[in-house]
Each structure stands twice: as structure tokens, then as C-alpha cells.
Amino acid sequence: MTADSTRRPRGRPRTFDRDRALGVVIDSYWRGSVDSVSVNEICRRAKISKPGLYREFGDEDRLLDAALTRYSETVLGPVLAMLSDDRPFGQTLDSLIDFVTREETPALPSGCLLAKMRSFRWRLGPVTGEHVDQLREGAVAAYAAWLEQGANRGEIELPAPLDITATYVDAQLTMMLTRISAGEDPELVRAHARLAFAVLANPACTSS
């Protein structure tokens, strides 16, 4: 056996588990915050080296962007997808409120990673910051389509122009997620949510 045959191959170590690393990044930032989680802590939890992490993702900005992409695919996407189904508006609204006000579990943290990133938008790198803006725009567009469908069916009455109402929904949900992350009583936040969304009620439906 020659010395050349015993050399380690160059490049990324084969033991690097990208999925595990992204899972730790998502969980760390989701349970903590953008300004309180260090790369050193992520490496410790994921049992990987900092050079290995940077070799895989490039820098912290792209690491966070990759985590946001995975979060969007696995959590945010399915939540927004329920806005386009054929269920009555009220049922979908209840499901949405239940999701944003859920209590934290070992498998699923409370709150929303995107909402936390939006709160610290000024701390994000250019790649992640642009991604956050794009996801917010996509969410508002999904809310607008959902609201328009409900209004066309006569299930709700828009209290303001569609674009304003869509951003109102986005603002209310973001505020609820922030309150849940801060440890407020989910039942109280849920009650306030239903009160906030009562502005969408169609008088013709509620009076019958």
C-alpha cells in the first residue's frame, strides 16, 4: 500500500449529514432567535465542525437561507396550501388560527421561523433577507386569493380593499405568532384572533 492510497480524499467529508445540519439550524433558530443563536452552538448540536459547515453552505447567510428554504418546503408550504382548498372559509380560518396558536412540542416549536426572521430583517444577510421578502409577498398573495374566494362565495365581506385586507391578515397572524413565541396563553391569543377576524364576517350570514 502506497502513501498516496492512504490519503484522505479531498473535498467535503462523506460523513457530513446535510439534512441533519439543516434540521438543527431550523430548530435552533425557530426555538431561539436570529440574534441569539451562534454558529458555534449549531455546530455543537449538530456534531459537525465549523469548517465543515462553511464548506457545505459557504457562509452564515447562505446557511440561514438554506434553512429557510427547507422550512418553507416542509412547514410554510403546507400551511399556505390549505388556503386554496375547497373547504368553507370559516373552517380554513379555524385551522389557520389553530396552527399559529399551537403550543410548543418537542417535535414542533411554537411560533414561526419566517415571522422571527422578519422581526430581525435588519440582521439578515442579503440572500436570506431577499428570500424573506419573497416569502412574505407570496404569503400575502395567498391570503388575497383566499379572501377573494371567500368574498365571491358570499362567506365573508371585505372591510377594505383586497390588498389592504390581505396585509391585515398577514399582520394579525404575525402578531399572534410573536405572542405565542413569547409564551402568552394560547387560549387568550386564540380568542383575540377570532375577535380580530370578526371584521370579515358577512352581516347577511351572521344575521340569518
Mean pLDDT by 10 residues, the chain (208 residues): 50 69 86 80 88 90 91 84 90 90 71 83 90 93 96 95 96 88 89 94 60
Dist CA 152 CA 150 (whole Å): 5
Residue 90, amino acid = G
Dist CA 130 CA 128 (whole Å): 5
Dist CA 112 CA 71 (whole Å): 10
The reported pLDDT for the residue numbered 198 is 95
The reported pLDDT for the residue numbered 208 is 44
Residue 75: half-sphere exposure toward Cβ, Cα within 13 Å = 21
CATH 1.10.357.10 at 14-206, yes or no:
yes
Residues 125 and 59 sit within 8 Å (Cβ to Cβ): yes
* Cell representation of residue 141: 398573495
The reported pLDDT for the residue numbered 17 is 83
The reported pLDDT for the residue numbered 207 is 47
The reported pLDDT for the residue numbered 164 is 97
Instruction: Give domain limits for the chain.
Output: 14-206
* Cell representation of residue 197: 377576524
The structure's pTM equals: 0.82
Residue with cell 390588498: 163
The reported pLDDT for the residue numbered 166 is 97
Residues 198 and 159 sit within 8 Å (Cβ to Cβ): no
* Cell representation of residue 122: 435588519
The reported pLDDT for the residue numbered 66 is 92
